[in-house]
Structure formats: C-alpha cells, structure tokens
C-alpha cells in the first residue's frame, strides 16, 4: 500500500513545492519545469489507466505528451474564459489538474489488488561511470557551441542615435552612442544645427559594450524647421564621419 502510492505522494510534494514555496530561479526552475512538462500528465495517466498496466516507456510517453497537451489546452481555456494567461492562473490550473488527478489515481489504486512491480534494468558501476563521462563530454560540446567566434576577420560596429528629449524635459535632445566594437575605441562627436555647433566632444573612449548617453538643452533659435545633425568620428580617422544622424526637433 505504501509503495504503490509513493509516486503519487511525490507528485503532490513536487506540485506543492512548485506552487507554494517562494523559491527563486534557478532553485525553482526544475520544479516549475516539472509542473509544466511532466506532473499533470503523469498524474492524469495514473488516474485514467489501471495501476501497472502500462510499461515504463509508455507511461513516460503519455506523461510527457499529456503534459504538453494539458498546458496548451489550459492556456487556451484561460484565454477563452477571459481570465488571461497569467502566471498565477496557469500555475493554479496545472497544479489543480495534477493534484486532482493524483487524488483520483490514489482512490482507484486503493481499490485494487496490485501485482509485483516489473523487473527493472540495473546499471553496474562501469555503466554509471560511462554515463557520467558522456555527460561530461556533452557539457564540453555545449560549451564549445556557446563559445563566441573570435573577432579576427569581422567588423565591429557602433550605434549612434538621436532623439527628442523625454516627455519630462521639453526643449532638450538626446544623443546615444553604443560601442559594439571588439576593442576600446576613441571617438569625437560634433553636433550642429543651422551651421552652428551645438555640442562638441573632442575625444572620448568607449570600451566594447559601453554606452554613452547625453541629454542637452535645445537653444531657443533651433526651431522645428532647423534639423540637428550629429556626426561621430573615430580618432583614428578624424576626417571621415563614422556615423551620422539627423533630427527634426519637435515643436
């Protein structure tokens, strides 16, 4: 009696952990994954099939497949009922299905005489070592796959943008520069309108990934009919604009 409901107790425990405990990722991730991808299907499979009438591969298949189906249909139901697909509704629905199904499975199991469990494949120490070793090789394979390509032979780039000041600061304009170059690079910036300089930075450096954002006041004589032009130069090639943007300011 004890043994044949151990799996259901585990379903209830894992569901409760996923639903109730205030865990944060990455600790909560495996529990939440189980809640979406395995537990509802496992519990439902246990409820609708007589105890131990499915072999392990088939039970696993139905658990996974039904969980996918249940999650997809649950999302649809939440949308169609107008509740919306929110985290709390979704987790409550999936947990509810898992817990109710587990309860139904427990009830039906308590009424039957159960057979001895089927034989299990046992793995010897060499096998365990080989599986751990293959996991190690696969981890290296994934690490290699996720290694960025060395920058030799590629062009890095820099973003230059311009915009009107935010809603809270009328009469201003903003300029942004983000370096996605592969080395630290020196720049200069010139902003002009109607032939007159508004802002000039003769030299500054940006590291790879670094962003510089400037908000400047707009002189009163710069009307919406006068465009503001910003030019970014590389210190290594000061004669040729590297990037150029133009803003027609708001009125």
Torsion of CA 144, 148, 152, 158, to 10 degrees: 180
| 246 forms part of the interface with another protein (CB under 8 A) | yes
For residue 84 the two structure tokens come to 């919306």
Which residues between 127 and 156 bind another protein (CB under 8 A)?
127-128, 130-131, 133-135, 137-138, 140-142, 144-156
Q: Give the number of residues in contact with another protein, rule: CB under 8 A.
A: 100
Nearest approach in angstroms of CB 236 to another protein is 15
Note the Cα 111 to chain centre separation in Å: 45
Residue whose token pair is 């799996």: 7
Distance CA 75, CA 69 (A): 10
Choice between 2 and 154, CB closer to another protein: 154
Choosing from 126, 168, 197, 236, the residue that interacts with another protein (CB under 8 A) is 126
196 neighbors 217 (Cβ within 8 angstroms): no
Q: How far apart are the first and last CA of the chain?
A: 79
Choosing from 10, 13, 21, 73, the residue that interacts with another protein (CB under 8 A) is 73
Nearest approach in angstroms of CB 200 to another protein is 18
Torsion of CA 65, 66, 71, 72, to 10 degrees: 70
| 250 forms part of the interface with another protein (CB under 8 A) | yes
Nearest approach in angstroms of CB 216 to another protein is 16
Residue whose token pair is 């510089």: 212
Choosing from 13, 123, 169, 170, the residue that interacts with another protein (CB under 8 A) is 123
Choosing from 180, 200, 202, 215, the residue that interacts with another protein (CB under 8 A) is 180
Distance CA 98, CA 93 (A): 9
Which residues between 207 and 236 bind another protein (CB under 8 A)?
207-209, 224-225, 227
| 43 forms part of the interface with another protein (CB under 8 A) | no
């Amino acid at each position: 009696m004890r043994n044949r409901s151990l799996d259901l107790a585990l379903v209830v425990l894992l569901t409760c952990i996923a639903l109730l405990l205030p865990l944060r990722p990455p600790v909560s991730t495996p529990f939440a994954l189980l809640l979406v991808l395995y537990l509802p299907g496992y519990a439902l499979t246990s409820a609708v099939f007589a105890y131990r009438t499915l072999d392990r591969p088939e039970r696993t298949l139905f658990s996974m497949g039904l969980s996918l189906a249940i999650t997809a249909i649950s999302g649809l139901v939440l949308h169609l009922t107008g509740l919306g697909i929110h985290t709390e509704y979704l987790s409550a629905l999936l947990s509810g299905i898992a817990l109710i199904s587990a309860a139904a499975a427990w009830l039906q199991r308590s009424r039957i005489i159960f057979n001895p469990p089927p034989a299990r494949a046992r793995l010897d120490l060499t096998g365990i070592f080989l599986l751990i070793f293959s996991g190690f090789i696969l981890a290296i394979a994934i690490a290699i796959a996720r290694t960025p390509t060395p920058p030799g032979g590629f062009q890095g780039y820099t973003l230059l943008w311009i915009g009107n000041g935010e809603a809270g600061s009328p009469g201003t304009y903003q300029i942004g520069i983000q370096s996605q170059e592969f080395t630290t690079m020196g720049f200069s910036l010139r902003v002009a309108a109607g032939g007159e300089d508004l802002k000039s930075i003769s030299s500054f450096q940006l590291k790879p990934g670094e962003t510089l954002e400037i908000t400047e006041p707009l002189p009163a004589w710069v009307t919406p009919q006068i465009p503001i032009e910003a030019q970014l130069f590389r210190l290594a090639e000061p004669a040729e604009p590297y990037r150029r943007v133009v803003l027609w300011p708001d009125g």
